[in-house]
Structures are given as C-alpha cells and as structure tokens.
Structure 1
Amino acid sequence: MTASTLWSDAPKNRYAAERSGLAANRAAPDAHAARRHTTALAAGIFLAVNLVVLVTLTPTLIDTLSSIVTLTDVSSPRF
C-alpha cells in the first residue's frame, strides 16, 4: 500500500471521520477553527468600538433632542 492510497482512503475531515465511525482526534482543531476565532475576535472588536462610540455620542444626542423639543415648545403658538 502506497502513501497516496492510504491518504485517499482516509477521511477528509473530522465530520467524515465521525460518519465513518473512526475516532477523530478531539485535541486537534478542524481546518476552519482559526478563521472562526479570527471572525469572533473581529466581531468583538467591532462591537466594542461601536459601544464606545455610542456611549461617547449619547450626551450629544440627548442635548440635540432636548434642544429640538425646546425649539418646538418655543415656536408653537399657544391659544
């Protein structure tokens, strides 16, 4: 048996090994684990930055909304 025959008979990933009944090595992550970790890290950073921007702009938003309400109270005629 050559190495190429052995490799072609082997399952391609953990899920194929589980379907065929072979015990897959649980300690080794699959091929997309690094991509999932990177995506989760990028999403966490993105959400943290958005939260900081939201907290930073909240006083400005409150001032703007209160000034709009004040302007409508001043400009509306009272009978």
Structure 2
Amino acid sequence: MGRALRPLRDDGILVVGSGGIVHSLRRVRSLGSHARLSVPTTEHFDPLFIVLGAAFPDEPAETIFEGFHYGNVSMRSFCFASARS
C-alpha cells in the first residue's frame, strides 16, 4: 500500500501513519513471554509499514519528536519527508 501511495508525494502530499504500538500497558510486566499481550495483532505496526513503503529508497527517517508519557511510554515520531527535485 505504501508503494502505491509513493507517487502522491511527488505532488506534495504527505503520507502519515499514526498510532501507538503498546495498548495494554497494565498487562505488560516484563519483556518475557507476556510482552505479546501488549502488541497482540499487526494493526499496531501497519501504519509504520505503510509509511516505510511510501518512503523513497534513499530517504532517511528523521526523528521529529522524542518524549515519554507516564515515565516510560515512548512517543517518538518519525518523518520521511526529504525534498525531491
């Protein structure tokens, strides 16, 4: 899907993927076998895969926000938005 959206970027359209990966914070106690409870299905990662597909092959990811909520939940945001000639 991301590669299909890539040509829109030549028209100045920004492709955005949004969401949080971890939803079940109360159920996560360690990175052991229970970690799968925090990310039970792929829709938590799908927005990332779509924007990666829309990125150009030589385009680096830029961190546009880095911070935490509740002391340990990363809210890091990335952008693939290099100027194309």
Q: TM-score, normalised by structure 1?
A: 0.27
Structure (1/2) with the larger strand percentage? 2
* Larger RCO (alpha carbons 8 Å, 6+ apart): 2
Q: Which structure is higher in helix share?
A: 1
TM-score of the superposed pair, with normalisation by structure 2: 0.26
Largest Rg, 1 or 2 = 1
